[in-house]
Amino acid sequence: MQIVEPPRVERIMAIAAHPDDIESWCAGTLALAVDAGASARLLLVTSGELGSHDLDVKPTFVGMQREAEALAAAQRLGIAEVAFLRHPDGDTENTRELRRSLVEWIRRWQPDVLFTHDPEHAYPPYLAHRDHRCVGRAALDAAFPLARARLAFAEQQLEPHTVNAVWLFASDAADAFVDISATFERKLAARLAHASQTPDPNVLPASWRERAATIGAPVALTCAEAFRVLNV
């Protein structure tokens, strides 16, 4: 286990399953990278349309609401662009269609570093959301080898692109820790932008500070995010 700096690169891409996933796991690190000069972009596979307990509300409305919240949160973090794939919430699969879409966006945005869910050692173990596992696996498949293979999805007429590293979040095998004390308040503000997912905004800040301290405890950080970093 080690304390690391955020990636010092020009272009970062995050692929997440749901609108509030990056706020949970990597927003502080992304904000640090943006402050250092990186351009960060976010691709959301689902719009989180099942994220309501209200039986009177339609999933399409929930999805629209959560997309708007994701855009507001991204603005608070300094994320340059957000795109939505609108795959089914709770029923996303690692299909050829999904891999094709992920390859297309990787080739468009040409990230040096990719952030996504850890599909092999997902946290929490055994109970990690299936969308997280499926999206993480599809993102890794897209980054290597598909996005760099010239003959893979050649009909896109986009240049192949090589992602140099993948930072896996929500990982039960994390070994790299980032001190996010300088950007924690922005991470928190971004999370609070997801108002539909925040029953009591007065309670959330204290619980999230405690969570950040728990994550950083193995390396004596009081406010941290954790990753498994893969050099591709």
User: In the prediction, which pLDDT does 54 show?
Assistant: 81
**Every domain of the chain and the residues it spans:** 2-231
User: In the prediction, which pLDDT does 150 show?
Assistant: 95
Give residue-wise pLDDT tens across range 22-38: 999 999 999 999 999 99
Average pLDDT, the chain: 96
User: In the prediction, which pLDDT does 55 show?
Assistant: 83
Report which of 140, 146, 135, 194 is spatially closest to residue 167, judged by C-alpha positions.
140
Using the predicted structure, report yes or no on whether residue 69 has a pLDDT greater than 90.
yes
Query: What percentage of residues in the chain have a pLDDT greater than 70?
Result: 100
User: In the prediction, which pLDDT does 52 show?
Assistant: 85
Bond into 201 cis (ω within 30): no
Using the predicted structure, report yes or no on whether residue 56 has a pLDDT greater than 90.
no
Q: Taking the mean position of all CA atoms in its chain, how far away is CA 183? A: 16
pTM: 0.96
Look at 218 and 232; give whichever has higher pLDDT.
218
User: In the prediction, which pLDDT does 152 show?
Assistant: 96
Using DSSP bridges, classify how beta strands 224-231 and 113-117 pair: parallel, antiparallel or unpaired.
unpaired
Average pLDDT value for residue range 177-185:
98
Give residue-wise pLDDT tens across range 138-169: 999 999 999 999 999 999 999 999 999 999 99
Using the predicted structure, report yes or no on whether residue 128 has a pLDDT greater than 90.
yes
Give me the residues paired with residue 13 across strands. 41, 114
Name the CATH architecture for the domain at 2-231. 3-Layer(aba) Sandwich (3.40)
Average pLDDT value for residue range 182-196:
97
Using DSSP bridges, classify how beta strands 224-231 and 165-169 pair: parallel, antiparallel or unpaired.
antiparallel
